Amino acid sequence: MRTRGRRPGESDRTLPGALLPLLAEPLGRIDAERVRAWLADEAAKRPTHAALAFRLLRAFLNWCADRPAYSSQVQAGACSSKLVRDELPAKSAKDDCLQREQLLLWFGHVRQIGNPVISAYLQTALLTGARREEVAGLQWTDVDFQWKSLTIRDKVEGLRTIPLTPYVAALLAALPRRNEWVFSSLTAADGRLQEPRIAHKRALVAAGLPDLSLHGLRRSFGTLCEWIETPAGISAQIMGHKPSATAEKHYRHRPLDLLRSWHVKIERWILEQAGIEQPGEEQPAGLRVVTA
C-alpha cells in the first residue's frame, strides 16, 4: 500500500516494479533480445521509469560481469546492442515554468489552499528558487527574523545562507510552531510536510493553468529574475547553483546585504505581477492585496 504521492482518483495499490518481469529469469537468459522486448513493453507504459530501470539493469549486469562467480553467466551485450538502445526512451528536458501573466492566477489560487502550511510552502518555493527538499527541510533554527536570513541545507555545498525577504518572512511568521519544522505536519511520521503536489495540482486546475512541477517553481524563479535584469551570478547564488565561470568561482564574494538588495527587488516585482503588495520591513505580518 502506498501512503505518499497518491494522486486524486488513483488506486491505493502500487504497480509492479519495472524490473519485475526480469526478476524471474535466470541470469544467463537475460540477453539483448529479452532486454529489448522488456524495454519496448515498459517504455510504452511508463517511459521515465523504464529509462531508470534500464540504467539500473545495465549497472547490475556490469557488476556481475566483473565478479568471477557471475561473469560466465552474463550475456555480453545484453544492454549495449543497437536494437536495445533503439527502444530506450529519448531524454527530454523539462521546461515547465510560470509566465509573468500567469502569476496573478497562480498566487490567487495557491493562497486559497485550505492548508496554510502547503500554501506557504509553495509560495516560499517560488520566491526563493530553492529545491523542493531544501524548502521542506527548513527548521525554525534556520530562520533568523532579526537579521532577515534563511539557512538552507544545500545538496551541493552543504549550507547556504540567503535573504529572508519581507513577504516570505510574513508567510513563515504566520505558521504554527508545532515542532522543529517550519512546514510541519500533524499526520506525517517525521512531523514535516511530505506531499504538497496534490494541493498544488488542484490549485493549477482551478486556475486553468498548465501542469507545473515543484521543480518548475524553482525554474520559474530563475526565469522571472531576468525581467528585472538580475545579474546571473546573483540569482545563481540565491538558488544554490554552482558557479560556472572562473570569475564566479574565485573572485566573487557577495555579502548577504548585497544579495538582499536584489532579492527584495525580485520578490517585489513578482508580487506586483500578482497584485500583492510587498509588506514593509516594519510590519512583517501585513499582507494586503492591491485593488485597482
Are residue 65 and residue 114 in the same domain, yes or no? no
Full-prediction pTM beyond 0.75?
no
Give the separation between CA 282 and CA 268, rounded to whole angstroms.
16
- Residue 192: C-alpha distances to residues 138, 185, 197 (Å): 9, 5, 14
CATH number at residue 235: 1.10.443.10
Q: What is the pLDDT of residue 128?
A: 97
Q: Using the 3D structure, point to which of 61, 87, 113 is the last residue of a domain.
A: 87
Paired with 163 in beta bridges are 149
* CA nearest neighbour of 124 among 174, 160, 189: 174
Are residue 183 and residue 233 in the same domain, yes or no? yes
Are residue 127 and residue 263 in the same domain, yes or no? yes
DSSP code of residue 279? P
Are residue 59 and residue 151 in the same domain, yes or no? no
Are residue 150 and residue 255 in the same domain, yes or no? yes
Give the pairing of strands 276-277 and 288-289. antiparallel
Q: What is the pLDDT of residue 52?
A: 85
Are residue 162 and residue 45 in the same domain, yes or no? no
For every one of its 292 residues, what pLDDT tens digit does the chain have, with 9 covering 90 and above?
A: 344 444 444 445 567 888 888 877 888 888 888 888 888 888 888 887 888 888 888 888 889 888 888 888 888 788 877 777 777 766 655 678 999 999 999 999 999 999 999 999 999 999 999 999 999 999 999 999 999 999 998 766 688 999 999 999 999 999 999 999 999 999 999 999 999 999 999 999 999 999 999 999 999 999 999 999 999 899 999 998 766 544 445 445 678 999 999 999 999 999 999 999 988 765 444 444 443 3
The total number of structural domains in the chain stands at 2
Is 9 a domain residue?
A: no
Is 33 a domain residue?
A: yes
Paired with 192 in beta bridges are 184
Q: What is the pLDDT of residue 217?
A: 96
Q: What is the pLDDT of residue 280?
A: 79
Is 1 a domain residue?
A: no
Residue 30, domain extent = 20-87
